[in-house]
Structure 1
Amino acid sequence: MLPAEVTMVTMKQTGPLEQRSVSFLGFTLEWEHRFEEQLPLYAQIRRSDLVTHLSEHYGDATPGSTILVPLDDIDALHSELTAKNFPYAKPGVDEVPWGREMEIGGFQS
């Protein structure tokens, strides 16, 4: 059996946009780490079983990458996120040959 995957996302800098983005998506911050005060932040966020690492270090992941997350109820998540009226992301659900998908973008700071 394969272990659960952990995704990694590179962020340009931490700050209000990233904090609002995490909150908007319904994640909670589990931990943060810096080797020294001036070095890049590395953090872990979670929503249910989905664990994501966030890193300010440019070498940890490719900026602008896409993460695909299988969902049981895409309509419920779409309703939840749309109701928050987040100004930086307007998710929409699309029909694609492999099913339905929701793209959530607009988090580049």
Structure 2
Amino acid sequence: MATVKPILRIFDYDKARTFYLDWLGFHLDWEHRPADSPAYLQISRGDVTLHLSEHHGDCSPGARVFIDDFEHLAAFHQQLLAQDYKYNRPGLDTPFYDPTALEMTVTDPFGNRLTFVERR
């Protein structure tokens, strides 16, 4: 089976690092950041891999990534709230489509949304 790696548009390298690496706990796998050029990064957390791009032609801001089967979502939610990140205070909800699931959506500084879902 092929691997899917969504590309999310970012506009500010430092804000992206603060949001994805410092707050959400993703790891920087690699980056391509030549002098005076837009950055392109691969980040991951467990089985979730994302590409972040400052290149204007790669994608449009406002994408949504659905991350299913995320384990220990309630603990992750509490970990995020404990960091007191002033730009995002996500809720933890039971989605309308599955009363046995938990769902949390965070929005990055560029309008992209990541929805984490755990099936209980």
Fold shared, TM-score > 0.5 on shorter chain:
yes
Partner of 1:57: 55
Root-mean-square deviation (CA, aligned residues, Å) is: 1.8
**Could you report, residue by residue, the CA deviation over 1:83-102 in whole angstroms, capped at 9, with x for unpaired residues?**
11111111111222223311
Please give the TM-score of this superposition, normalised by the length of structure 1.
0.85
Partner of 2:105: 103
Partner of 1:25: 24
Separation of aligned partners in 2, 1:7 and 1:45: 11
**1:69 aligned to 67, 72, 77, which one?**
67
Question: Quick check: 1:93 aligned with 2:95?
Answer: no
Percent sequence identity over matched residues? 31
Whether the aligned pair in 1 keeps the contact of 2:26 and 2:43 (CA below 8 Å) is yes
Gaps of 5+ in 1: none
Partner of 1:40: 38
Please give the TM-score of this superposition, normalised by the length of structure 2.
0.78
* Counterpart code for 1:62: S
